[in-house]
Amino acid sequence: MIKSYVINLERHKDRLEKFYKQNQTHFFERVNAIDKNVLTTLGHEKFYFNTSALENKIHRKITIGEIACTLSHILCWNKIASNDELSENEYALIAEDDIILSENFYAIIKNLIDKINNLGIDYKLIILHKLDLYHFSHKIKEDGQYHLINASTEEDIDNDGSALYLLRKDKAIELVEFLKEKKPFWLADHFSTFCPDKVGILFPFIGYINETVPSDLEIERTIARQNAGIA
C-alpha cells in the first residue's frame, strides 16, 4: 500500500467525510492542516516564513492562507521523512481534502511507480493534478492512456495548485534538513523552487477540484494578484 496523507482543517470535517467516501481512500492518514486563523492571531509571520524573499519573487504580498497551506504541506514532508516503514527511494502520496479522485486512481499510481522503478527514472516529485489555470486544460479520463511528461520549465508546474502529488522520501528528508536551518521561501505549488530536481507530470490527471466549491485560498490569491496589478 502506498503511504498516503490527506491535509484537512479541523473546522472542515465535512470535507474529510466527503474525501473518505471516495473509492480507496480509507488508507489515507489525516494530517491536521495549519489554520490561517491561528496564524492571523499569532502574527509575526516573518518569524517562521521568509516573506521578503518570496514577495520579491512573486511581486506581491503573500497571503496568510498561502503560508498556512505551505506549512501544512511541510508537515506532510516531515511525516514522510520520519516514516521508518518507507525506504528512501519510495514515494508517498500527498492530497488536499477537496481533491476528487479518479475511480481507479490507486491502480494508476501503483502502475506508474512500478514503471518508474523498472525504467530507473529518477523522479523526486510527480504532479498528479493541476488547476488548469495556465496549462494542460484537460480533465481526468477514466479510460485514457496515461503518460508521464518531463517538466522542463517552472511555467509547466508552478502556481497551479498542490492538491495531489507524489514525493519521494529522500527528497522529503532533504527538504526537512534544509528547513532546520532556513525558513521556507516558496509556496506549496512552487514545485520548481523546492524541488529543482527532475519533476514529472502525469497526464491526463487523476484528480480534479470541484470548481463550484469556493476556495478561500484561491480567492485570496486572486485578490492579492489584482492588488499588485498582476493578471
Domain that holds residue 177: 4-227
Q: What is the pTM of this model?
A: 0.89
- Cα dist from 50 to 62, 156, 160, 174, 229, whole Å: 10, 24, 21, 18, 22
Rg (CA), the chain: 17
Q: What is the CATH number of the domain that holds 22?
A: 3.90.550
| H, E, C per residue of 158-206 | CCCCCCEEEEEHHHHHHHHHHHHHCCCCCCCCCHHHHCCCCEEEEECCC
* Mean pLDDT, residues 41-63 taken together: 89
User: Hey, is 101 helix, strand or coil?
Assistant: strand
Rounded to whole angstroms, the Cα distance separating 32 from 185 reads 22
Share of the chain above pLDDT 90, in %: 68
Residue 231 pLDDT grade (very low, low, confident, very high; cuts 50, 70, 90): low
Per residue in 148-206, pLDDT (tens digit) is 888 878 888 898 899 999 999 999 999 999 999 999 999 999 999 999 988 999 988 99
Q: How many CB atoms lie within 10 A of CB 177?
A: 10
- CA 2 to chain CA centroid, Å, is 16
As for how many domains the chain has, the answer is 1
Cell of 162: 498542490
Residue with cell 502520496: 93
Per residue in 66-80, pLDDT (tens digit) is 999 999 999 999 999
Torsion of CA 212, 215, 220, 226, to 10 degrees: -30
Question: Phi-psi region for residue 59, left (φ > 0), alpha (ψ -120 to 50) or beta?
Answer: left
Rounded to whole angstroms, the Cα distance separating 181 from 197 reads 20
